[in-house]
Amino acid sequence: MTEKLINVTEPSLPPLIEFIPYLEKIWKSKILTNGGPFHQQLEAALCEYLGVNHICLFANATIALVTALQSLRITGEVITTPYSFVATAHSLLWNGIKPVFADICLDSLNLDPSQIESAITPQTTAIMPVHCYGHPCDVDAIQRIADEYNLKVIYDAAHAFGVNNKNGSILNYGDLSILSFHATKVFNTFEGGAIICQDKKTKERIDHLKNFGIVSQVQVVAPGINGKMSELNAAFGILQLAGINAALEKRRRIDALYREELKGVQGIRCLTQSGEKVSNYGYFPILVGGEYPLKRDALFEKLAAHRVHARRYFYPLISDFPMYRNMPSAAHSNLPTAVKAANEVLCLPIYPDLEHSDLKMIADLIKT
């Protein structure tokens, strides 16, 4: 009997037959893109579900990041984390902005507010933190620094769909927040993304920028880009949203089972949870410390040999890639905690349909 492949993330897809009525409506309307009915419906539904004022849908989160920086007219230098997916820093380079890397907190793996202030220069115009794995940054501390130095805050919230703190949605912090709706995320539109903003005027500017800067048939006001979400993607998002609460509850139970199974395993550390809803259980990272009998890469290979495809996410650091590693802020001496985390992290498979027996098998491989 062939062992089945267990991936780190497998999107939970509704049956194709449920999507057919949406396809028929799109076909009848003859509207495939450019803010059609499903696009407008999904924006309204997401604002209500997420508890945000305004949302601008995009073809993907990378274009959303690029456009967010353009909409706030960010220039010069932006302080960000080296511990993220490369799109975070790439969006800065695409806008001719210099990334300045600061270290992270070991507990949350998010940008460390105590490291931000020393990275500020006269050229700094913004901070771009990441809610890593859906765990919120220290938003209050970051905002205090931004206010003191008159800096903008753009949150890469790719992982933070549906995450709240005691004051409501984590997406309402900062000047803008960017979501990813990629197929690997807890909520997806196959491909997609969004910018969350607080006022109508900003939304209008962003909507112009994602459509080439076009305002009317005869007026273009900015060098925008084609970042629009299609009706097909929006319709799929509406279908996905109907089942999101059930999917998140399944993820929560899987997270709890992993924690119970791995409790007390020497050298294996799970990121901590608190009483607040501080995660959407989109990822299950563990840190493989020196007390564990195997190095992280050896454990990675052991799991792979049993067709369990975990992921060293995020390794290498963004700051280690060729386009960044010669920057002064990319030096490992400047980023000791990020370097440690990148060398120890391993994200285990987590998705709504992960069976208990498969989870138990993964945990047993780690424990033995």
User: Could you report the per-residue pLDDT of 230-248, keeping only the tens digit for each?
Assistant: 999 999 999 999 999 999 9
pLDDT, residue 278, reads 66
Half-sphere exposure of 67 (CA within 13 A, CB side): 36
Query: What is the average pLDDT across 22-30?
Result: 85
Q: What are the structure tokens assigned to 195, written together?
A: 């910018």
Pairing of strands 176-180, 345-348: unpaired
Is the predicted pLDDT of residue 36 greater than 80, yes or no?
yes
User: Could you report the per-residue pLDDT of 40-77, keeping only the tens digit for each?
Assistant: 999 999 999 999 999 999 999 999 999 999 999 999 99
Is the predicted pLDDT of residue 344 greater than 90, yes or no?
yes
Is the predicted pLDDT of residue 351 greater than 70, yes or no?
yes
Bigger pLDDT: 28 or 92?
A: 92
Residue 281 contacts residue 350 (beta carbons within 8 Å): yes
Residue 84 contacts residue 321 (beta carbons within 8 Å): no
Q: How far apart are CA 131 and CA 111, in angstroms?
A: 9
Query: What is the average pLDDT across 9-23?
Result: 73
User: Could you report the per-residue pLDDT of 216-235, keeping only the tens digit for each?
Assistant: 999 999 999 999 999 999 99
Q: How far apart are CA 95 and CA 76, in angstroms?
A: 10
Dmax (CA) for the chain in angstroms is 68
pLDDT, residue 2, reads 44
pLDDT, residue 21, reads 86
pLDDT, residue 23, reads 82
Residue with tokens 């901590």: 272
pLDDT, residue 30, reads 87
| pTM of the model as a whole | 0.94
Averaged pLDDT score across all residues of the chain: 94
pLDDT, residue 6, reads 75
Q: How far apart are CA 248 and CA 250, in angstroms?
A: 5
pLDDT, residue 274, reads 54
Beta bridge partners of 360: none
Cis omega before residue 316 (within 30°)? Answer: yes
Is the predicted pLDDT of residue 277 greater than 60, yes or no?
no
Apex CA 134: angle with CA 128 and CA 137, to 5°?
A: 45
Element (H, E) at 348: strand 345-348
pLDDT, residue 4, reads 72
Give 13's pLDDT tier (boundaries 50, 70, 90).
Answer: low
pLDDT, residue 22, reads 80
Give 260's pLDDT tier (boundaries 50, 70, 90).
Answer: very high
Is the predicted pLDDT of residue 1 greater than 80, yes or no?
no
Please state, for a pLDDT cut of 70, what percent of the chain lies above it. Answer: 95
Q: Which domains, from first to last, does the chain contain?
A: 16-242 (3.40.640.10), 244-367 (3.90.1150.10)
pLDDT, residue 12, reads 63
Is the predicted pLDDT of residue 167 greater than 60, yes or no?
yes
Is the predicted pLDDT of residue 275 greater than 90, yes or no?
no
